[in-house]
Amino acid sequence: MPHLVYILLGSNQGNLAQQLDNACLAIENQIGSIENKSSFYQTAAWGNTQQAAFLNQVISVRTNLAPNETLEKLLGIETQMGRQRIEKWEPRIIDLDILFYDNIILKEAQLIIPHPYIQDRRFTLIPLVEMAPQMVHPLLQLSMEKLLEICPDPLMVEKMGGN
């Protein structure tokens, strides 16, 4: 039975909407079928704030791949699209993060599921609430709606349409 994976997409270089669309095509070709997509959201950079704003989107994907295989494919897609990892929180053509993989809890050197910063980032929670407001975080045992309500992140997240 296919697994349900929520993936956060982000870009702040080039044609941002096109980068997200290109990543979605690659995900469909290499990982599995996209079940749902949030709207696009523009957000000021998080972490390293001295860079252009990001366009973000959350998608849900059905896949037969294991969590580590999914991560490997996402990293490959980032590389194929021209991402180079030089320093943390740098500008990037594409950033692909696994948020949730079914309801599993996984903590390995290269992969932590659920993503450890979900509850701290409005740019992640707002699209998740759009798609699955009642989904419960398997570690925190709170819905996406509740996590957004108590999220300490002050950054503005602006809905841009699209999907």
Percentage of residues of the chain with pLDDT beyond 70: 96
pTM of the model: 0.95
Q: Which of these is catalytic: 21, 62, 97, 120?
A: 97
Position 59: which residue type? Answer: I
153 annotated active-site? no
Place of tokens 């949730």: 100
Tokens of 109: 């050197």
Q: What is the pLDDT of residue 17?
A: 96
CA dist 131 and 82 (Å) reads 29
122 annotated active-site? no
pLDDT single digits (tens) 44-98: 887 777 789 999 999 999 999 999 999 999 999 999 998 887 766 677 899 999 9
Question: Taking the CA of residue 100 as centre, how many other CA atoms within 13 Å lie in the half-sphere pointing to its CB?
Answer: 22
CB 31 within 8 A of CB 63: yes
95 annotated active-site? yes
Q: Which of these is catalytic: 83, 121, 122, 153?
A: 83
Q: Which of these is catalytic: 21, 62, 85, 92?
A: 92
Say which range, 84-98, 110-124, 135-149, has the weakest mean pLDDT: 84-98
CA dist 98 and 1 (Å) reads 19
Q: Is the peptide bond before 114 cis (omega within 30 degrees of 0)?
A: yes
Query: What are the percentages of helix, strand and coil residues in the chain, rounded to 5?
Result: 30, 30, 40
Nearby residues of 75 by Cβ (< 8 Å), 6 or more positions away: 96
pLDDT(161) > 90:
no
CA dist 61 and 58 (Å) reads 10
The domains of the chain, with CATH numbers, are 3-161 (3.30.70.560)
DSSP notation for 14-55: SSHHHHHHHHHHHHHHHTEEEEEEPPEEEE--SSS-SSPPEE
121 annotated active-site? no
